[in-house]
Chain A
């Protein structure tokens, strides 16, 4: 079987500027160039994707998966190693690439098609089915600036799949658009897959990856960590998530870890009766108890929690950052409980507690992962149970 994509030792390094480079400041900075930080977004990736394969890439935000995708699309060149792709590539890095607001839908189909490598004639031949699939017949001669975001996405996806790519690169785009269209997209991608199109998909949506992909690559902090069948890869990804020291990825990107200040002794989930438990009913009051010990004197300590949904998405994070614990002397035992109500749908959840310095820039310790299962109310779906009350108002006789 021939390969559609080959990466050999591929890596991408970015130069992180403090601000956009300016002629004057960069000229003055010639001597101490080291100030410009260089970061490897992704490194050491060896990968072969066979023709017709459906391949997934998963990882947290900033793990380098999108950089991998941009290299496969040829948008940026690797700093080291090589990237090779055979066949026409349609990148769905973001739908509606090259859509110009002032141009009509029809005109944009031509621009977008040309970008994907179609000739004018080929576009004209496909025009009908592109419009039809996108379901925007009535608006095709309207400038796209008047389109709803859903219409925008549908048109973009439609052009991309009608370009008959040999390699389709999909980056998180299916998260947008309405449900009916998402279903349609999946069907279309399945159809393309049956026809032998190679599909590479980057997603946070582990369910979609499980459904669509055979093999999956897990990347973490720019390093390939696991390559294998989807279920094992997803398990490996969960493993990485739970052993991670950087839980709050959105807040945690700028934090550094300082060992030897606080040691976590235990962390456990307590049920409504105050006894340790692993099973919770939706809406039940629960608490997480953390025991930790200060190894040195610390001025201010913030304790925080992050709760992860079954698919690894952080659903809730909070801390006592506004009222930190004050003045812990060396040897002090810190015991605290975080109480909340498990307003969650059914599934197995994980929680991690972290202890930070008062400035929130330094992480001092992290608890082991606490796992528990929630039996949700059976009408609830999604990531949270907001306990909607659905009441009918008394009919008023007029």
Chain B
């Protein structure tokens, strides 16, 4: 017996937010399988496999810590290595995820041009695929803290809301960019160019307090600043008042998620026309 409600009910190009939410819920199984697929495919051919997922951010953090402390003599933070690593954990998750997530819809053309599922699943699967590497890096930060004589207090619990905010911001960014990318293929290059600059206007290797002038303004508008502040407060501490940067992160997150919802509701049913 067939259900009375049609499984495909198309009239006009847009999808209502409620229906999109329902379709996403129904696609949860697909989301899990696609995330797993993404994760496996990425490291399949490498002999060290998933070790690369954490080796890369760790190596990058080590190089940066070394270069900036020995060469550039940034010594603003008392525990510089932990300071950099605590910044690298959210930053590398963010940058890795958005560079793959922004192009996820177009990159999965052989999937999305031949079968329907809510297209938002594709960028969201990238979010989940990178989660493993992220969690391991966070765990390493926590393990390194006692090693570098950084005492962990109850503030460490801030890592949870910090992670949620990070995920939500990354999701908002990926969903918005992936929808725009269908119509403007330049998005791929804009995102990689932006990431190069973005790294230096994010207080990953230096404390936010060191910035001045125009850099200061960019830092204050940067949604990643508030998130990094939360990570530092949770681990090395010494960040100072962070209510404003966190609120700015929150505002960006909500803004991007709203834009993403509007874009996907309006266009996701006709993405396939341009793939």
Contact = CB atoms under 8 A, between A and B. Distances in A.
Given A75-B116, A97-B111, 11 more contacts: A2-B2, A15-B273, A74-B7, A76-B273, A77-B13, A78-B11, A82-B9, A86-B2, A107-B37, A115-B111, A117-B30
Contact of A82 (B10, B44, B112): B10
9 contacts: A73-B115, A75-B116, A77-B269, A84-B6, A84-B10, A87-B3, A102-B44, A111-B37, A114-B33
B272 interface: yes
Nearest to A83: B10
Contact of A100 (B8, B41, B45, B272): B41
A4 B7 CA distance: 10
Interface core residue of A70, A74, A75, A110 (most chain B CB under 10 Å): A75
B115 A91 contact: yes
B116 A73 contact: yes
A85 interface: yes
A98 B110 contact: yes
Given A82-B10, A87-B2, A166-B2, A114 B29 contact: yes
Interface string A199-227: 00000000000000000000000000000
Nearest to A6: B6
B43 to A, nearest CB: 10
B116 A88 contact: no
A391 interface: no
A20 B41 CA distance: 29
Contacts of A100: 37, 41
A74 B2 contact: no
A87 B7 contact: yes
A94 B186 CA distance: 29
Contact of A86 (B7, B29, B34, B113): B7
Interface string B1-26: 01101111111110000000000000
B186 A22 contact: yes
B261 to A, nearest CB: 18
Contacts of A119: 29
Contacts of A333: none
B48 interface: no
B186 A91 contact: no
A75 B272 contact: yes
A72 B8 contact: yes
B272 A76 contact: yes
Interface residues of B, number: 37
A116 B186 CA distance: 32
B185 interface: yes
A382 interface: no
Nearest to B186: A23
A94 B111 CA distance: 10
Contacts of A20: 185
Task: Identify whether the interface residues of B are mostly helix, strand, loop, or mixed.
Answer: mixed
A51 B2 contact: yes
Contact of B7 (A22, A89, A93, A103): A89
Task: Identify whether the interface residues of A are mostly helix, strand, loop, or mixed.
Answer: loop
A94 B114 contact: yes
Contacts of B5: 86
Interface string A252-266: 000000000000000
Nearest to B180: A23
Contacts of B34: 111, 114
Given A83-B10, A84-B8, A22 B185 contact: yes
Contacts of B6: 84-86
Given A23-B186, A75-B116, A86 B3 contact: yes
B117 interface: yes
B270 interface: yes
A51 B5 CA distance: 14
Nearest to B44: A102
A71 interface: yes
Nearest to A81: B11
Contacts of A15: 273
A102 B37 CA distance: 10
A111 B272 contact: no
Interface in B110-162: 110-117
Contacts of B269: 76-77
Interface string A58-76: 0000000000001111111
Contacts of A87: 2-3, 7
A361 B13 CA distance: 36
Contacts of B2: 2, 4, 51, 86-87, 166
A79 interface: yes
3 nearest interchain CB pairs?
A: A74-B116, A77-B269, A85-B8
A23 B184 contact: yes
A123 B117 CA distance: 18
B40 interface: yes
Contacts of A51: 2
B188 to A, nearest CB: 12
A81 B10 CA distance: 8
Interface in A1-36: 2, 4, 14-15, 20-23, 26
Contacts of A184: none
A372 to B, nearest CB: 41
B126 to A, nearest CB: 15
A194 interface: no
Contact of B10 (A77, A102, A103, A120): A77
Contacts of A120: 29, 32-33
A308 to B, nearest CB: 31
A185 B207 CA distance: 65
B200 interface: no
Contact of A102 (B3, B41, B110, B186): B41
